[in-house]
Each structure stands twice: as C-alpha cells, then as structure tokens.
C-alpha cells in the first residue's frame, strides 16, 4: 500500500516536472536573489561546506549553494526533475551534482554532510519522520538541517473533486495526497519532528520578505543541529 502511494505521488512529480520548473527554465537562477540572501544570512561564506539538497526538484537551492562555492549534491526521486536541474546547472554555468534517490531512504554513509537543506519537500513524504531520521543520520556532528516549509497554522479547506480530471492532479493523486501526514503541517509539528530525530537548538523563523504564491500560508525555516 505504502509503495503504491509513493509510486502514485512519484508519477505526479514526473508528469508535472516541466510545469513545476517553468519559472526557473524561463528566467534562470538569478531570479532567486532573495533566496540567495537568505542563505547568505544563515551560512557563513567560509569555510565551504558539503551540502545536500533533499528533494531538489529543478535544483534551485542546490544551485544557489553551489553558486556560493559550497560542494553541493541535489537529490530527487524524479529523473525528469533531475534532468531539468542538470540543464539549469549547465545554462547557469554552475558546477553541481544531481543524483536520483529517495529522501526517506538515503544511501549516503552516516556523517557525510555539513548541511542538509530541504525546501518544500517534507510535505510530499508518506513518512516525514523517516526522512528527517535519515537527514539527521547523514549530518556530521554540529552539522545543520534547514527545512523551508509553508506554515499551515490556519487549516485550509481541501477539495479533491475540484481538479480530478487534470493530467497532473488526478483523482488517484488526490487520494494519495490525503494520506500525507505533513501535507498541511504547522511549523510547530515540523519542529517536534526534528526534536524527535535527536536534533538540538531547533528554531522556527518566519520568512516574511520572500514572495509566496500561497499568500495565506507563510514560509518559515526550521533549523536544527546535530549534537
């Protein structure tokens, strides 16, 4: 059942990759200067870090970390997303590795990375706790996890029937979506997940200054550190 749900969700990202990546394909990485500034506020420029961007999609965060000189790997389940990420790296002339893998079952050795970043991927996982366990596992001691998410403090109504004939958002997709425990998580729920994975100094910071398509659901960043 669980593998089936993951398969249905994976299909949504394969079919929807071009649609999701339209913005970055048309306008390139330079339109993400606000995100670049956010990273620069959080991460000192030196020393250079070994960074993993989990659920990288078209590679936005991975490319921004690479642009700042950090050695970065972007990982995604969807080969279509990864192909777009590789094209984006090429057209931006940025050196960045992109590999296929499951965010909930990373094959990297323990303590491989200084920083794991995850933007808008946690909600897509059938087992977010398993994902966070793996992201903490691959962090070096004192390594940091940054999760960028929407903070669904105000619950939003769901209307699966509305778009059930859509090629990407099929009825089957909506049924699987409804079983995702963190599809509408609050920042407090995400914070608790990081703490349950043994991370310390877990903090939530709202992101006010970056434009968000979901105006009523603000972005936030949840940071945690490995002991």
Ligand X SMILES: C[S@@+](CC[C@H](N)C(=O)[O-])C[C@H]1O[C@@H](n2cnc3c(N)ncnc32)[C@H](O)[C@@H]1O
**Contacting residues toward ligand X, per CB under 6 A:** 13, 55-57, 60, 76-78, 81, 102-104, 119-121, 124-125
CB of 51 to ligand X, least distance (A): 13
Residue 215 and residue 150 in contact, taking contact as beta carbons nearer than 8 Å: no
Nearer residue to ligand X within complex by CB, 4 or 201:
4
How far apart are CB 55 and ligand X at their closest, in Å? 3
C-alpha span between 98 and 120 (Å, rounded): 18
* Rounded Cα distance, 59 and 79, in Å: 12
Backbone angles phi, psi at 93, to 5 degrees: 60, 45
CB of 46 to ligand X, least distance (A): 25
Neighbours of 78 (CB within 10 A): 22
Question: In this structure, what are the phi and psi dihedrals at residue 97, rounded to the nearest 5 degrees?
Answer: -90, 135
Q: Which is nearer to ligand X, 76 or 114 (CB)?
A: 76
Separation CA 164–CA 110 (nearest Å): 41
Residue 164 CB, shortest distance to ligand X, in Å, is 20
Length of the chain (residues) = 227
The residue number with the shortest CB distance to ligand X is 57
Nearer to ligand X, 62 or 139 (CB): 62
Q: Which is nearer to ligand X, 3 or 227 (CB)?
A: 3
């Amino acid at each position: 059942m669980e593998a089936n749900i993951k398969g249905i969700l994976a299909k949504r990202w394969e079919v929807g990759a071009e649609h999701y990546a339209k913005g970055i394909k048309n306008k390139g990485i330079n339109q993400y200067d606000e995100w670049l500034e956010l990273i620069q506020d959080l991460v000192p420029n030196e020393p250079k870090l070994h960074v993993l961007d989990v659920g990288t999609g078209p590679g936005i965060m991975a490319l921004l970390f690479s642009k700042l000189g950090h050695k970065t790997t972007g990982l995604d389940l969807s080969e279509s997303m990864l192909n777009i990420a590789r094209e984006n790296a090429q057209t931006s002339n940025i050196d960045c590795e992109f590999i296929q893998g499951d965010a909930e079952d990373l094959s990297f050795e323990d303590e491989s990375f200084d920083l794991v970043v995850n933007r808008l991927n946690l909600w897509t996982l059938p087992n977010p706790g398993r994902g966070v366990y793996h992201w903490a596992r691959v962090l070096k001691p004192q390594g940091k996890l940054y999760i960028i998410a929407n903070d669904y403090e105000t619950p939003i109504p769901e209307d699966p029937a509305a778009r059930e004939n859509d090629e990407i958002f099929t009825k089957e997709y909506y049924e699987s979506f409804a079983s995702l425990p963190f599809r509408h998580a609050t920042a407090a729920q995400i914070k608790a997940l990081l703490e349950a994975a043994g991370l310390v100094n877990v903090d939530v910071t709202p992101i006010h200054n970056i434009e968000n398509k979901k105006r009523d659901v603000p972005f936030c960043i949840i940071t945690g550190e490995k002991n």
